Amino acid sequence: MAKIKIFLTDVDGVLTDAGMYYTESGDELKKFNTHDGMGMKLIQQAGVKTGIITTENTKIVERRAAKLKVDYLYQGVYPKVNAAKEICEKEGVSLEEVAYIGDDVNCLELLSCVGIAACPANALPKIKAIPGIKILEKAGGEGAVREFIDWIMNNQLHA
């Protein structure tokens, strides 16, 4: 298992509970978990680059990424593995040095080729069936990202 140098995450179903909330006026809302945000800060402080890769394209995610101070934000991209490869090229690392957390079929290819892959407890069965994937105890939007980051930091960065 290579040392992780980049931590990447999906948004819907991972950083959020996969719900799409709409007001009567058509505004879209998403619920994020502050524990995940602190996890992102902690892994950044440990010298790991961070990024968000999502097939959606919203101002909400742009604002959340800015608040989290992620190094990379890729929105509206598919396949996601292409964005991850671009990040790796910019950072001079391999996909083996990337940790990624995703929950749905649009994450399947990327989850299948990174050094450490994880999914929330409520990920789809096809994702949970990826060989070697770490299935977390927490659901998306309920601290799954923080759980994964804590696990990485305990098993890799402080080992």
Share of the chain above pLDDT 70, in %: 97
- Please report the pLDDT score of residue 156 as a whole number: 81
User: What residues have CB less than 8 Å from 62, skipping those under 6 apart?
Assistant: 73, 75
DSSP-assigned letters across all residues of 118-137: EE-TTS-HHHHTSTT-EE-S
- Please report the pLDDT score of residue 68 as a whole number: 98
The CATH T-level fold of domain 6-157 is Rossmann fold (3.40.50)
- Please report the pLDDT score of residue 157 as a whole number: 56
Distance in Å from the first CA to the final CA of the chain: 13
* Residue 18 in this model has a pLDDT that exceeds 80: yes
pLDDT, tens only, 24-73: 999 999 999 999 999 999 999 999 999 999 999 999 999 999 999 999 99
The mean of the pLDDT values for the chain is 95
- Please report the pLDDT score of residue 2 as a whole number: 63
Q: What is the pTM of this model?
A: 0.96
* Residue 23 in this model has a pLDDT that exceeds 70: yes
